[in-house]
Amino acid sequence: MVIKSEKKSDTESLLKRIDALNRNIGELEYRTDSLEGGSTPWMLATGVLALAIIISAVGFANGSIRVNAAGLPAAGTGTASDLNVEGMYNLMLEKGLPSEEIDTILMRGGIQKTDVDKIRYKVTTTGAAPTATPTAKPPTPTDKPPSAATPTPRPKSSGTGEQVNFQMFVMTYCPFGTQAEAGMLDAWDRIGKYVDLDVRFVIYSQYQGGGDDYCIDGGELCSMHGIAELNEGIRQACIMKYYDMDKWVEYTKIINAQCSLGDIETCWKGIAKDVGVDVAKISTCQKDEGVALMRADKDEGDALGVRGSPTMFINSAPYSGGRDALSYTRAICNELNNEPSECGSLPACGQDTDCTKTGKIGKCVNPNTDDAACEFIDPVAVKLTILNKQSDPSCDSSQIEAALVRLFPGVDVEKVDVASAEGKALVEKYDVLIVPKYILDDNLENTNTWDTNVGIRSVFENKGDVWMLTDDASGASCYISDEAKVAAEEAACAQIPKADVPTMKMFVMTYCPFGTQALDGIKPVVELLGDKINVEPHYVIYANYNGGGPDYCLDDDSKYCSMHGIQELNEGVRQLCIYRDQRDKWWEYYTLVSKGCSSNNVDSCWEAKAKTAGIDIDAVKKCYEDEALDLLAEEVKLNEKYGARGSPTMVINEVAYQGNRDPESFKSSLCCGFKAGQRPSGCDTKLAGGGSAPAPQGNC
């Protein structure tokens, strides 16, 4: 159980900054034209801290970018908010920020235990759920073993001379993915013979419940934008298997320009014929080899921690440079040992991110001129000591370690256990209560990142002879002892205001998996404590989501919209009606409709579930017809009052809850909210969860 508190002065100052931004540019909204695969709104992390830092650092106050979320994802142990991090990372790259500075901003914004280098990001704890996206529920990783079926390896590029391996993971109808492809497709004619291009597709398991609308192979192989996207990925994999990459490039250029997701199933055949691809052969491959091909892509993606589109690697190192032809060409030329003539006429670089070489720090001198040049220097050696409870797998340090390695590539990592003599000495010397601790020697001040990215300094504390990454930046959450944990929990419990009937307001989206995760977690507590507590479901509402319109919004002015589409919003209204008028049946109905319907079919699916739950269907319809806009207006007021910009947002007795989402954690926190002498005996009942390992999971 954790109730996160911030210093009042800091919070008030940050809130004032955000209020000022709101007054200047209206409703804030992190978005580009479309952020599928990069996904927005971004999640609550350290609350206003994340938003204030991101806005001030990136300079969004000019109004060119709008923002409707309160921050970034808090990706704790066993969770992943990767798609959202990717979206923010890409957006800041496009605004011209160096990648090192973006790493700093993300860490300052509360990215916890997330490798801000890879962005796609391997999650080391099983059972984690990636963060939701604007268009649909996010994928849920599976622990099932990969299929034994292994396709014939795809052919490699057939160019002459030395080649650079460039691996791209995309979704065929993710705009970020097609943007990334477009740059490579344009670069191909110039440098294709020097590129071993390996294009693969981002595949999830049990996406949107694993149904046929998104998946094949019993729900194990799914694509975010539906079965048509998955089928097109299979066809392109078949083309790459049976033809050379030149043919795939020719085909894909036209597909991306002429075929929409809605007509791709028929559109592709004419284009295939035009470019000399055998339609019957590809159709047979799709039918007979599709599962094996997509399983291979999923296995490869899982091994590399791929979660978002695009995810790219150059010579096995993460690629985070520009996505235009020139940036790709520069990056590839930099990796070639002998510069071919095709590289000679290029400006060597336009920014530092164009200068990449494995194991080196690149600097762009005289950018975008004939005299532009990349200079590569060796990194400064820095000792990084990671103090941790090595016997506790919940205290994972691998992803922050990877982030620090990227920021300071000269680090030499030493891992020290708190139980060792050296560990105990460090605990005593630096008064450590929570681990992991990331301790760097004073050579940190001599590194290129420290010198050129002043903002990085704010995430470190000076401890005399060393620098230590702050707990807010690292997400450290493991207490060094049970006694320390108990003391911290008692302090957190004391912060919760007391009431006769403790109340938790839960702001969710009906088809955000993290919202349903939270509701599923609180349900056993409601069953245990009954009317001694009050759990109120509320709904996260956005204005002008994804540009507004009837696909997302209920009203003509697009004031009332939902992330996963109009059917999700409609269902939110119905659930508000049921909770108000037929409350005793709400939980059964919620369970039925959340498990048995989706954001794509709930408008036609809900009545059967309501009938099963004994709901008065006509009363719900009348409430919807007569009161929908009024109910949504009230929800918007509550959203604003409690800062509900992500799903779930939870408040206990008017204090924000940021603890774990399991029954025991919820129960413990609610039981802290009783007045003295009124704590019921049910609070002593142990429910599932409540361990020290899980941190707060992601949000939509």
- Tens digit of pLDDT for each residue in 249-280? 999 999 998 888 778 999 999 999 999 999 99
Instruction: Quote the pLDDT of residue 276.
Output: 97
| 486-684 has the same fold as 382-480 | yes
pLDDT band at 446 (very low <50, low <70, confident <90, very high): very high
pTM score: 0.49
What would the two tokens of residue 10 be? 């800091």
- pLDDT score of 690 more than 90: no
Q: What is the pLDDT of residue 308?
A: 82
What pLDDT, in 10s, does the model give residues 449-502?
Answer: 898 777 788 889 999 999 999 887 787 878 888 888 788 788 888 889 999 999
CA distance linking residue 172 with residue 182, whole number of Å: 12
Q: What residue ranges do the domains of the chain occupy?
A: 8-108, 164-314, 317-377, 382-480, 486-684
Q: According to the model, what pLDDT value does residue 116 have?
A: 34
pLDDT of residue 40: 26
Residue-level pLDDT at 123: 22
> How would you write 442-481 as a 3-class SS string?
HHHHHCHHHHHCHHHHHHEEECCCEEEECHHHHCCCEECC
How many C-beta neighbours within 10 Å does residue 448 have?
A: 20
CA distance 25 to 686: 48
pLDDT band at 103 (very low <50, low <70, confident <90, very high): low
Q: How many C-beta neighbours within 10 Å does residue 16 have?
A: 12
Q: Residue 292 pLDDT > 60, yes or no?
A: yes
Looking at 134-143, 372-381, 428-437, which range is the least confident one? 134-143
CATH class of 382-480: alpha beta
What is the rounded distance in angstroms from the CA atom of residue 450 to the CA atom of residue 361? 13
Burial call 626-660: b when 16+ CB within 10 Å, e when fewer? ebbeebbeebbebbeebbbbbbbbbbbbebbbbbb
Topology annotation, domain 164-314: Glutaredoxin (3.40.30)
**pLDDT tens by residue, 220-255:** 999 988 899 999 999 999 999 999 999 999 999 999
**Per the CATH hierarchy, to which homologous superfamily does domain 486-684 belong?**
Glutaredoxin (3.40.30.10)
With contact defined as beta carbons under 8 Å apart, do 107 and 73 qualify? no
Task: Please compute the mean of the pLDDT values over residues 381-388 and round it to a whole number.
Answer: 96
Whether the upstream peptide bond of residue 41 has omega within 30° of 0, thus cis, is yes
In angstroms and rounded to an integer, the radius of gyration of the C-alpha atoms of the chain is 26
150 or 435, which is more confident? 435
